[in-house]
Amino acid sequence: MIPTKIAVIGLGGISQVNHLPILKKMTNAEVVAVCDINKNRLLSVANKFGIKSTFTDYREMLQSIDFEAVIIATPTVTHKDIAIDCLNAKKNVLIEKPIARSHAETEEIVNAAKKNKVNIMVGMNMRYRPDIMLLKSIINAGDLGTPFYVKIGWLRKQSSEGKWFTKKEDAGGGVILDLGIVLLDIALWLLDFPKIKTISTHNYAINTTNVEDSSISFMRCLPNSIISLETSWSLSSEKDSFYLNVHGSNGNASLNPLRIIRRSEDQQIDLTPFKSENPLALFKKSYTNELKHFIGSVRGLNPILSTGDEALSRMKIVENMYKSAKENSEIKV
């Protein structure tokens, strides 16, 4: 098997802890080049993972090295330009969330992918957590009946300590674009992408000045489902808190840990798997599954999930969340 040649742009924590270690273990993928503007970090990471070709300018990398796909894990402010240049060079792209700072920037990226007829996938690794994948299959099988209410939240420290991360002009937003967009994606995916009817969002800046660090949203979906979404960097306790509750007409499910209950007449049937893994192992596996899926899509073995068109829809919802918070009112979508 000839491995798929991969380049990685941006060598921060997510690349060092997840992307590179996982890719190095895959037999059908080879990291042929890495790029980062920090030369010391670039050389250190390349040496650690045995990667010979290093670049501080991704444009030079595009001209010098032959590869089929690229992972973009740079600050959000750089996503649009890097992604469009890579797409114009006919490279398949996996871009870490959020895809861009705005719906308008997202549209430019998606149009470039369509113009060049190459794949673009947005990093929504939580879809690939084994317990969430199992929950999705349970819902698709109809064991919970028709799902009508998803309550989901994530309270944890911010994903990056970089100064750019809390600057609106660089990051596009705060906790909504860090954690909220991931939870929104899960909720929409579990409900099979319903259309949003109304959005009510309240944002708070408790420990930040330029972006929100806590956000609470309530969304009404067509025909009659509801999403409740809570994210925060400032409300977190000693340990991270991630929860997900799905209520259906014939049962309900929740995690962490995973528990699935189906109602049958006057009885409750426990469909929970006997074995459950710890959240850290599940989180690590989510990146492994995501990268395997991306490589598979590049090789033509499976379709893309978390597509550019889905990203456009998510970013439109996100912009309405910010609009609702700014106007302090419920927004009709």
pLDDT per residue as tens digits for the range 41-87: 999 999 999 999 999 999 999 999 999 999 999 999 999 999 999 99
Same domain, 139 and 114: no
Same domain, 118 and 149: no
pLDDT of residue 3 exceeding 90, the answer is: yes
DSSP structure string for 179-240? IIHHHHHHHHHHTTSPPEEEEEEEEE-SS-SSS-SEEEEEEEETTTEEEEEEEESSS--SS-
Same domain, 105 and 217: no
**Does residue 21 lie within any of the structural domains?**
yes
**Does residue 89 lie within any of the structural domains?**
yes
Same domain, 42 and 76: yes
Quick one: 50 exposed, middle or buried, by C-beta within 10 A (0-12, 13-18, 19+)? exposed
Question: What is the number of domains present in the chain?
Answer: 2
Q: How confident is the model at residue 265 (pLDDT cuts 50, 70, 90)?
A: confident
CB 187 within 8 A of CB 227: yes
**Does residue 285 lie within any of the structural domains?**
no
pLDDT at 49 (0 to 100): 97
pLDDT of residue 276 exceeding 90, the answer is: no
Same domain, 71 and 168: no
How many angstroms separate the CA atoms of 44 and 39, rounded? 8
Same domain, 70 and 167: no
**Does residue 286 lie within any of the structural domains?**
no
**Does residue 284 lie within any of the structural domains?**
no
Q: Are strands 196-204 and 4-9 parallel, antiparallel or unpaired?
A: unpaired
Burial readout 213-234 (b: 16 or more C-beta within 10 A, e: otherwise): bbbbbbbbbeeebbbebbbbbb
Average pLDDT over residues 207-220: 96
The 8-class DSSP code of residue 303 comes to -
Q: Can you give the CATH number for the domain in which 85 is found? A: 3.40.50.720
Q: How confident is the model at residue 236 (pLDDT cuts 50, 70, 90)?
A: low
Give 244's strand partners: 152, 255
pLDDT at 158 (0 to 100): 86
Q: For the chain, what percent of residues have pLDDT higher than 70?
A: 99
pLDDT at 235 (0 to 100): 87
From 327, 292, 315, 237, select the one nearest 6 (Cα to Cα).
292
Same domain, 23 and 140: no
Give 203's strand partners: 215
Q: How confident is the model at residue 277 (pLDDT cuts 50, 70, 90)?
A: confident
Q: Can you give the CATH number for the domain in which 236 is found? A: 3.30.360.10
Domain that holds residue 59: 4-124+291-302
Same domain, 297 and 239: no
Same domain, 199 and 326: yes
The 8-class DSSP code of residue 237 comes to -
Kindly list the distances between the CA atom of residue 280 and the CA atoms of 127, 129, 175, 256, 293, in Å, as whole numbers in the listed order. Answer: 15, 10, 21, 11, 20
Average pLDDT over residues 245-259: 94
**Does residue 31 lie within any of the structural domains?**
yes
Same domain, 114 and 156: no
Kindly list the distances between the CA atom of residue 272 and the CA atoms of 80, 191, 251, 327, in Å, as whole numbers in the listed order. Answer: 42, 20, 12, 43
Dihedral-angle region of residue 162 (phi above 0 means left; psi in -120 to 50 means alpha; beta otherwise):
beta
Same domain, 168 and 40: no
The 8-class DSSP code of residue 18 comes to I
The token pair at 130 is 């084994």
Q: Could you give the residue ranges of the DSSP H alpha helices within 13-78?
A: 13-14, 20-25, 39-49, 58-64
**Does residue 307 lie within any of the structural domains?**
no
Single-letter amino acid code for the residue at 253: A
**Does residue 144 lie within any of the structural domains?**
yes
How many angstroms separate the CA atoms of 142 and 272, rounded? 15
Same domain, 135 and 264: yes
The token pair at 311 is 């990203």
pLDDT at 286 (0 to 100): 96
CA atoms within 13 A on the CB side of 295: 22
